[in-house]
Amino acid sequence: MSNPITIEDIAAALGVSKTTVSRAISGKGRIGEATRTRVLEYIEKNNYRPNVVAKGLAQRRTYNIAVVWPGDYIIEDLPFFQKCLVGMSEVTSGYGYDIIVSVVAGDDISSLKRIIENRKVDGVILTRTLVDDKPADYLLESGVPFVAIGDSLNEQIITVDNDIFDACRELTSIIIGKGHTKLALIGGSSNHMVTRNRYGGFVAAFEKAGKKVDESLIFLDQGNEQKLIEIVKHLVAEKVDGVICMDDKLAGHVIGICRYSNIKIPRDIKLASFCNSNTLENAAVSVTSLNFDDRNLGAVATRMLMELIDGESVKSRKLKNYEVIMKESTK
Amino acid sequence: MSNPITIEDIAAALGVSKTTVSRAISGKGRIGEATRTRVLEYIEKNNYRPNVVAKGLAQRRTYNIAVVWPGDYIIEDLPFFQKCLVGMSEVTSGYGYDIIVSVVAGDDISSLKRIIENRKVDGVILTRTLVDDKPADYLLESGVPFVAIGDSLNEQIITVDNDIFDACRELTSIIIGKGHTKLALIGGSSNHMVTRNRYGGFVAAFEKAGKKVDESLIFLDQGNEQKLIEIVKHLVAEKVDGVICMDDKLAGHVIGICRYSNIKIPRDIKLASFCNSNTLENAAVSVTSLNFDDRNLGAVATRMLMELIDGESVKSRKLKNYEVIMKESTK
DNA sequence: TTGTAGGCGTTATCAG
DNA sequence: CTGATAACGCCTACAA
């Protein structure tokens, strides 16, 4: 049925060459003001749309970027990715780009590989960074422009991140400042770069206060709820002042355990989370936590990638804004 | 730098024509077994990858589908979309397709429009359906193949959905069967088709039990927490047996209100949710709810779309499996 | 069974 | 300022 009109149709209708039409559209190359408006008017009237695929073939561009999306269902992580995505989408559409999602679960980067090998995208955004980062390594090797959200140990990788370190240090400092100095820290995968930074911020707050971190109160790579139960009981027995969880998943578990064990927050123990996901809104206590502007993070990452694709040189960035949200759990 | 090799390079290297190479790859058209393997081996050895964009231009295909993604941050909705997406991704990669996300917030379908007008995709999946469905109307008009997840009043629209109606009826029936017949129903946007079906299932359960629904206990288009507070207090004053929320966002609010108002669930009032999002895991009570296989839903929708794109005729489907999860809140 | 030539819709090169 | 003409990389009649 209704085949879309092409640049050639326009050329024929207007008695000019394809080249001229192309120039009128792209704005590149010299062209008479008269013919230019004539073409543009015709385009407007017949609502012509350039074929982006054909354009891409000629320019060796796809006008797509890939966004690596987590394939797991950890609910506390979703709001972050969602907010990032919205920010990304706002930027891409301004550039005439679209977003292809590459769902990556665990170490299986076959989806990403396919997309890259098929040359479906001009660049990639990694939405989290790992210590042993398979996707990043692959992308570096393949030479595709990419930006990673999160910190990296590899200087070659262009990254953008919230200032996790500072934020975590500040939150910890505030709690220390309230006189709660015997603090435990519970964190997730130590293969996530963010875990390192959170840990670093925690330690830095102690240093700043001239105190020493009690290493026996640091628990990383936690996720298993059974082990958490023991840990929480242990902490209460040890009479720690408070516990800081690196994310809301852990904080949620701790709340659940406390409720079940009849431990009262904040009476018996204080609680804070290094990452607010809004998943704890219906929890038994409202939780002190950190808030970041993830939508902006996604937007900035995308702008950086766009510049990278355009051949500009781009430097890693750290976004400075965060909020410390004080709630009942540390009262 | 390293320009990928093309079909022409292979042809030249092997002393055959481009056509022959193309045939060896696609499997279409007659070709000698000998030359065929010769080409395939060469491809393997030099790990040649066809340029999907060029292929698409020639075939008038993009090997992309669009998935309309919600632009809002309603956390209780994210798991559903996430699970759908994973299912979709599994299917598309089997077909050599990729997923472009179209972030649509409210009535602003400009993102979707751009994607369609730019001909970036061969088809679209709508991840929710509305009573007044702007995206669906647009897609119908534009003639792009699409499948909608969720029910529709428009027969022209090809849909696939969980059997919301049956599931809601069953859950309601169970609660009625426990002797709780004075039930309230709180629901979200009545512009969402799913709201209608949930309501329908609720009503059907009453009919099946030979009872009449008390219309004064039906509250749709709720979201505002302030109004919910009044409603909950009203319900308690009216001594209703229980309240069913159409989703976890509402259920979460109700839990919060009850806790604040010192109303005990399930002692003072029973509670159930028509849609389990796992966001209530840390809530004060565990909530009776419905579980669906959303990943499969996404997978089925995608398979249907693939068939549609391949020109096959596809009929709307309703997926039958769901689970009723009985928890403390209705004890 | 294989090859030739033209087309998919643009952009880019190089003359005029 | 404008226009042929050749890419871009692949597919597909039609011929051989």
Q: Do the Cβ atoms of B99 and A98 come within 8 Å? A: no
Residue range B315-326: mean pLDDT, rounded: 96
Residue B229, Cβ neighbours under 10 Å: how many? 16
Residues A36 and A67: their CA atoms lie apart, in Å, by 37
CA B258 to chain centre: 31
Q: Do the Cβ atoms of A79 and B78 come within 8 Å? A: yes
3-state SS, residue A312:
coil
pLDDT tens per residue, range B161-190: 999 999 999 999 999 999 999 999 999 999
Residues B274 and B187: their CA atoms lie apart, in Å, by 10
Chain B nearest C-alpha distance from A190 (Å)? 24
| Residue in B76, B106, B74, B100 with CA at minimum distance from that of residue B88 | B100
Whole-number Å distance, CA A41 to C1' D1?
Answer: 19
- Cβ burial of A311 (10 Å; 0-12, 13-18, 19+) is exposed
Residues A126 and A325: their CA atoms lie apart, in Å, by 28
Strand C contacted by A3 CB (< 7 A): yes
pLDDT value of position B167: 98
Q: Which nucleotides of D are covered by protein (CB under 7 A)?
A: 1-13
B270-273/B288-292 β-pairing:
parallel
pLDDT value of position A284: 84
pLDDT value of position A283: 83
pLDDT value of position B223: 83
Q: B1 falls in which pLDDT band (50, 70, 90)?
A: very low
Q: Are A278 and A79 in contact (CB under 8 A)?
A: yes
pLDDT tens per residue, range A132-142: 999 999 999 99
For A186, A188, A200, A211, A321, the CA distances from A177, given in Å and listed in that order, are 20, 25, 18, 12, 22
- What residue of B is the nearest CA neighbor of A86? B71
Q: Has residue A307 got a pLDDT over 90? A: yes
pLDDT tens per residue, range B6-51: 999 999 899 898 999 999 998 887 888 888 999 999 999 999 999 9
Name residues whose C-beta falls within 8 Å of residue B138's C-beta, 6 or more positions apart in sequence.
B109, B112, B113, B116
Chain B nearest C-alpha distance from A48 (Å)? 9
pLDDT tens per residue, range B235-258: 999 999 999 999 999 999 999 999
Whole-number Å distance, CA A30 to C1' C16?
Answer: 15
Strand C contacted by B62 CB (< 7 A): no
Q: Which nucleotides of C are covered by protein (CB under 7 A)?
A: 1-14
Residues A233 and A263: their CA atoms lie apart, in Å, by 9
Q: Which residue has the tokens 């996901």?
A: A277
What percent of chain A lies above the pLDDT cut of 90?
89
Residues B75 and B78: their CA atoms lie apart, in Å, by 5
pLDDT tens per residue, range A9-29: 999 899 999 999 999 998 887
Its pTM surpasses 0.85: yes
3-state SS, residue A243:
strand
Between positions 235 and 274 of B, the ones with CB within 8 A of A are: 252-253, 255-256, 259
- What residue of A is the nearest CA neighbor of B82? A73
pLDDT value of position B243: 98
Domains along the sequence of chain A with CATH: 7-59 (1.10.260.40), 64-162+294-321 (3.40.50.2300), 164-291+324-330 (3.40.50.2300)
Q: A3 falls in which pLDDT band (50, 70, 90)?
A: confident
B275 at A interface, C-beta within 8 A: no
Q: B282 falls in which pLDDT band (50, 70, 90)?
A: confident
Best of B62, B69, B282, B285 to disrupt the A interface (most A CBs within 10 Å) is: B282
- What is the 8-class DSSP label of residue B47? T
pLDDT tens per residue, range A147-183: 999 999 999 999 999 999 999 999 999 999 999 999 9
Please report the number of interchain residue pairs, chain A to chain B, with beta-carbon separation below 8 angstroms: 149
- What residue of B is the nearest CA neighbor of A96? B114
Q: B2 falls in which pLDDT band (50, 70, 90)?
A: low
Residues A53 and A63: their CA atoms lie apart, in Å, by 8
pLDDT value of position A185: 98
Residue A98: its chain B contacts at CB < 8 A? 100, 102, 114-115, 118, 120
Query: Which of A31-35, A69-73, B320-324 shows the lowest per-residue confidence on average (mean pLDDT)?
Result: A31-35
Strand C contacted by B118 CB (< 7 A): no
3-state SS, residue A215:
helix
Q: A282 falls in which pLDDT band (50, 70, 90)?
A: confident
pLDDT value of position A2: 63
pLDDT tens per residue, range B185-226: 999 999 999 999 999 999 999 999 999 999 999 999 998 888
Q: Which residue has the tokens 């009476």?
A: A267
Q: B74 falls in which pLDDT band (50, 70, 90)?
A: very high
Structure tokens at B257: 């209100």
pLDDT value of position A1: 46
Q: Are A201 and A172 in contact (CB under 8 A)?
A: yes
Residue range A298-303: mean pLDDT, rounded: 98
Residues A267 and B139: their CA atoms lie apart, in Å, by 57
Amino acid B216 reads S
3-state SS, residue A244:
strand
Give 3-state DSSP helix, strand, coil % of chain A, rounded to 5.
45, 15, 35
Structure tokens at B216: 């004064």
Q: Bridge partners of A281?
A: none
Residue range B100-118: mean pLDDT, rounded: 96
